[in-house]
Amino acid sequence: MLVKLEHVTKTYGQFKLDCSLNLEEGHVTGLVGQNGAGKSTTFKAILGLIKPDSGSVQVLGKDGGQITDADKMRMGVVLSDSGFGGHLNIKAAASIMAASYSRFDRERFLRQCTEHRLPVDKKIKEFSTGMKAKLKVLCAVSHEADLLILDEPTAGLDVVAREEILDMLREYMEAEGKGILISSHISSDLEGLCDDIYMIQDGKIVLHEDTDVILSDYGLLKLEAGQYDSLDKTYILRIKEESYGYSALTDARQFYQENYPSLIVEKCGIDQVETMLIGGKRK
């Protein structure tokens, strides 16, 4: 197991994180949640940047407190407030990376920067948002890390830049024994990349599911009031009142398609599941 969190808690005033999650080797695991849900706090707890109030953090098979510098070399990290000083250029950043990471491959890194149209002599502070984001991810994958911890690596990027970053991550996963924990607001990124998804709301994990299962089994029912009253609600997870009656989230789409052929039963993606879990009522 690359990462294992068991009831990791952290309280900031009214906010309380209580998070359990696992990242297995060979897996890309996504963490989704609204602003302030606790994604960055979870990542900081994994990285030892904050001390949890209770619970256990294991990273690369070791207790959080026992992570050595050698273990840190096995990790690539993107945080929203991480990055190089803006006065540096990529060549200078490469020298810092070479001094920091024994497995840093300078030639490959500079080649990849050029392939991704990042000018190696220009000051990083003059880069666009997308260029800075690509550089952060290229740095994270440049030193043969076994584990990537990526907090919103695609935030604020256009679709082409996002796709480039996702391709970098897919390429990274081609090697054996790697794993990525990634957060994003953009569900399509996670759908196309992650093996499984955790959803966090108000500091609590409200759903953990394989991405394939969400896409194949979850569904949204559109119901008039009469249809709602007579519905078997065994597999309904959340209900929301709508102008036409109700919408209902199910994790057994086929059951309703087969047993209620006249109902409107739509496929749903991660965004809709999140909206219903957060905005809908329990049945």
Ligand X SMILES: Nc1ncnc2c1ncn2[C@@H]1O[C@H](COP(=O)(O)OP(=O)(O)OP(=O)(O)O)[C@@H](O)[C@H]1O
Among 37, 67, 97, 139, binds ligand X (CB under 6 A): 37
Residue 35 interacts with ligand X (CB under 6 A): yes or no? yes
Residue 49's SS3 state is coil
* Nearest one of 188, 282, 279 to 242, comparing CA atoms: 279
For ligand X, the closer of residues 110 and 278 by Cβ is 278
How many other CB atoms sit within 10 Å of the CB of residue 202?
16
Q: What is the pattern of x (binds ligand X, CB under 6 A) and - over residues 76-95?
A: --------------------
Of residues 41, 89, 112, 250, which one binds ligand X by CB under 6 A?
41
Please tell me whether residue 33 binds ligand X under the rule CB under 6 A. Answer: yes
Q: Determine if residue 61 is left, alpha or beta; phi over 0 gives left, psi from -120 to 50 gives alpha, anything else beta.
A: left
Q: Please identify which residue in 30, 38, 76, 219 interacts with ligand X, judged by CB under 6 A.
A: 38
State the nearest-atom distance from the C-beta of 240 to ligand X, in Å: 23
Q: How far is the CB of 16 from ligand X (least distance, A)?
A: 9
Q: Does 262 bind ligand X (CB under 6 A)?
A: no
Residue 226 burial by CB count (10 A; 0-12/13-18/19+): exposed, middle or buried?
A: exposed
Q: CB nearer to ligand X: give 19 or 161.
A: 19
- Site for ligand X contains 29 (CB under 6 A): no
Distances (CA, A) of 180 to 75, 146, 151, 169, 173: 10, 9, 11, 8, 8
Task: Between 37 and 169, name the residue whose CB sits nearer to ligand X.
Answer: 37
CB of 261 to ligand X, least distance (A): 40
Q: Which residues of 138-171 are buried (b: 16+ CB within 10 A; e: fewer)?
A: bbbbbbbbbbbbbbbbbeebeeebbebbbebbee
The interface with ligand X within residues 9-28 (CB under 6 A) comprises 12, 15
Q: Which of these segments, 30-38, 70-78, 248-256, 273-281, binds ligand X (CB under 6 A)? A: 30-38
Tell me the closest approach of the beta carbon of residue 15 to ligand X, in angstroms: 4
Residue 223: burial class (beta carbons within 10 Å; 0-12, 13-18, 19+): buried
Q: Which residues contact 258 (CB under 8 A, 6 or more apart)?
A: none
User: How crowded is the C-beta side of 79, counted as CA atoms within 13 Å?
Assistant: 14
Least Å distance, CB 161 to ligand X, is 19
Contact window for ligand X (CB under 6 A) among 39-47, 56-64, 93-101, 126-134: 39-47
Chain residues binding ligand X by CB under 6 A are 12, 15, 33, 35-41
